[in-house]
A and B are shown apart, each in its own frame.
Chain A
């Protein structure tokens, strides 16, 4: 009969390495994608709203504050967000925010991120037809 001493230990290590760890990494990574996607959507919505509310002013300070605020709320580093806002000069036009967020390909708890891809969203707010300047 084969000597089975140590068999379970090897099996457990293999199971942890090949099954549990990949599962935990996926479990930890997929919600981060969802959260960052949500964060980008909120950043786009709030920056477009802020730009439309401030029309016709073109000062980007208010938009920058909104980006910083939402990024802080969601725990997303500002450097992982690229935000562009285009505002029409005329009433009836649109304030369009375009946000690209960096998605970590793999999120390793207590270790860090590995690899990355990006996701982009846009949000548009109409400038009221009878808006006063």
Chain B
């Protein structure tokens, strides 16, 4: 077994970890989208509040994403002009030291029900 083989194997493993990192990050992004969607739906009925939205979104994200990944998700809701909006700022760490993390912002919105 040569040094060349060891280096090639290590590089292949790093690439595999990066692929796994991408997969996990995409899962978290989908989970955050689901949480935002659940949140706005909770506040859509007449009388729904931003607190209802935040509570539902938090519950959803805590059920889907835990640990360090979950700590990088900041959710907030607001109701403005009859529209419920939920925003999330997400910062995901890189699995490979030295590589930058992935940060992005997601939003969901829906029109709140009014009196008939």
CB pair A49 B30 closer than 8 Å = no
CB of B80, distance to nearest CB on chain A (Å): 13
For B23, the chain A residues whose CB sits under 8 A away are: 27
* Closest A residue to B22 using CB positions: A27
CB pair B22 A46 closer than 8 Å = no
CB pair B4 A20 closer than 8 Å = no
For B37, the chain A residues whose CB sits under 8 A away are: 38, 42
CB of B13, distance to nearest CB on chain A (Å): 11
A11-B8, A15-B12 known; A53 and B111 CB under 8 Å? yes
CB pair A23 B19 closer than 8 Å = yes
Summarize B's interface: helix, strand, loop or mixed: helix
Tell me the chain B residues, 1-31 only, with Cβ under 8 Å from chain A.
Answer: 2, 4-5, 8, 11-12, 15-16, 19, 22-23, 26-27, 29-30
A38-B33, A53-B113 known; A20 and B15 CB under 8 Å? yes
Residue of A12, A28, A35, A49 touching B11 (CB-CB under 8 A): A12
The tally of residues in B whose CB lies under 8 Å from a CB in A reads: 27
A86 sits at the interface (CB 8 A): no
* Closest B residue to A4 using CB positions: B2
B96 sits at the interface (CB 8 A): no
Instruction: State in angstroms the CA–CA spacing of A66 and B26 once bound together.
Output: 25
Which residues in B have some Cβ–Cβ distance to A below 8 Å?
Answer: 2, 4-5, 8, 11-12, 15-16, 19, 22-23, 26-27, 29-30, 33-34, 37, 106-111, 113-114, 116
Which residues in A have some Cβ–Cβ distance to B below 8 Å?
Answer: 8-9, 11-12, 15-16, 20, 23-24, 27-28, 31, 34-35, 38, 42, 46, 49-50, 53, 66, 69-70, 73-74, 128, 130-132
